[in-house]
Chains A and B, each alone.
Chain A
Amino acid sequence: MAGTVDLREVRESAAGDLDGLAGFAQQLVGQPFLFARPSYGDELTLHFGQLREPTSAKVKRPRGSFVLTLRGSVWQIDPGAGSNLVLSDTLTGTPLDLSALESHPPVTAGSLTVAVRPFADPESGGFGLYLAFSDQSRVVIRPDVSDLITEADPDLPRLADWELFTPHDRVLRVGPGANWSYTPLK
């Protein structure tokens, strides 16, 4: 059955609604992958769509019109035709400086995002995200459960598991847990 998603809608709080989350996440389908870039704290960010200048004069580099931030998640990138699986956490692989993903992106720049599938992650009780691209590369993001086990940093706010900043003046914030929201950027 056909349907529509209002990309300007606001959902302040939604818990456990995987179908609703999947609906808002679909706006990434068809967007070209631009680049991967580390942000503060060795957080990987993935940029899609069109290049967009920052609003603050204090920031030098442009970003994508869509930005996926991998906050409190573990992730892996399968470059498809390439041979090196890229993992956020590995005990056996070769250590990787995230800036290398900016100069040698594991997803081919310009590849189209062909599938975006949030999924219920049984280990964390939250939502992961699966992305597939036209160059056969794939990205899987899952909430990091290490803090759930240790109940670390009670003095600090818990991180979202991942976020999608959109050109529709909205940010999709997912986690911690099965909570998500779709709210204005400003």
Chain B
Amino acid sequence: MGRKRDLKQVDAVCREFDLDAETELEFRDFLHECKESGDRGTANARGDFTMDELRTKAREFLGE
């Protein structure tokens, strides 16, 4: 596993959902704010999100 895999996973999900650059920037902030508020993922002890959780978060962020 490479470094910054969590960032790469977010990039991959942004591509799946065809997010433009500004929406992608805000989606990253949204994920960070979710973690800060206690809405954490299950990928690791840091509370990062799995790919499926990121897809769910993307739908939530986009209001789908």
Contacts and interface: CB of A to CB of B under 8 A. Distances in A.
A2 interface: no
Interface residues of B, number: 29
A59 interface: yes
A58 B6 CA distance: 21
B8 A69 contact: no
B22 to A, nearest CB: 4
Interface string A163-184: 0010000010100000000011
Interface string B39-64: 00000000010000000000011000
Given A40-B7, A56-B61, A153-B5, 14 more contacts: A41-B48, A43-B7, A43-B28, A55-B22, A55-B23, A69-B25, A69-B28, A152-B1, A152-B5, A156-B5, A159-B4, A159-B7, A185-B20, A186-B20
Contact of A58 (B4, B9, B61): B61
Secondary structure class of chain A's binding surface, majority of residues? loop
Given A38-B32, A152-B2, A153-B5, A165 B20 contact: no
A58 B30 contact: yes
B12 A157 contact: yes
Could you say which interface size class chain A belongs to? 20 to 34
Contacts of B61: 56, 58
Secondary structure class of chain B's binding surface, majority of residues? helix
A105 B23 CA distance: 26
Interface of A: 38-41, 43, 54-56, 58-61, 63, 67, 69, 71-72, 144, 146-147, 150, 152-153, 156-159, 165, 171, 173, 183-186
A72 B60 CA distance: 26
B45 to A, nearest CB: 13
Contacts of B32: 38-40
A59 B30 CA distance: 5
B8 A153 contact: yes
